[in-house]
Amino acid sequence: MGPSLIPGAMIGVSVAYLIIDFINAEHLQLIIGVICIVFSLKNLLLKQITLKALNNKAGALIMSIFSGLTSSLVHAGGPPIIIYFSAIGLAPAKFIATASAFFFIMNIFKLIGVTALGMLTGEIILTAMAFIPLAFVGNWIGVKINTSLNKQLFLTIMNYLLLLLGCWLVMTK
């Protein structure tokens, strides 16, 4: 994992907890959805245009800050990381492994903030525990997909999923 991903996520999570009372979650969700749609359509329809501005440490830092921020405010930290990983053309194995490690570490950090704000309840813990089997199934599916897809097909599928996620975020706001 790049050295600038985790510090950026921690900055994003920290800022989110500082501004949580001032943010309109619906507006933020709409903005994230539109960005997902635009980015995925750019990648699917205009492949020759690349986002070289993200292909450096500053790009990693900025996108991981956005991931920490959006993950904490509207539980949508995936799009900024998918955009960043797609922009740098990360290979499927590194994409899945890095995303898994990134979100695991970031969610541990988020847990500290949620606990400090008194937002962690028994009901939330039970709900999280109920989804543990799905995490294992998701990891198993990820491994199977990783071994059967080439890089270009993998990135194309990720962009279609990003498009679907963007549409869902826009329609459910």
**pLDDT tens-digit readout, 17-65:** 888 888 887 888 888 888 889 888 887 887 666 667 677 788 889 989 9
pLDDT of residue 122: 85
Q: How far apart are CA 94 and CA 77, in angstroms?
A: 18
87: Cβ contacts below 8 Å, ≥ 6 apart: 50, 51, 54, 55, 59
Quickly count: other Cβ atoms within 10 Å of residue 5's Cβ: 25
pLDDT-derived band at 1 (thresholds 50, 70, 90) equals very low
Contact 3, 64 (CB under 8 A): no
**pLDDT tens-digit readout, 64-116:** 999 999 888 877 788 888 888 888 888 777 887 888 889 888 988 888 878 88
- Tokens 């979100």 sit on residue: 103
Mean pLDDT of the region 113-130? 84
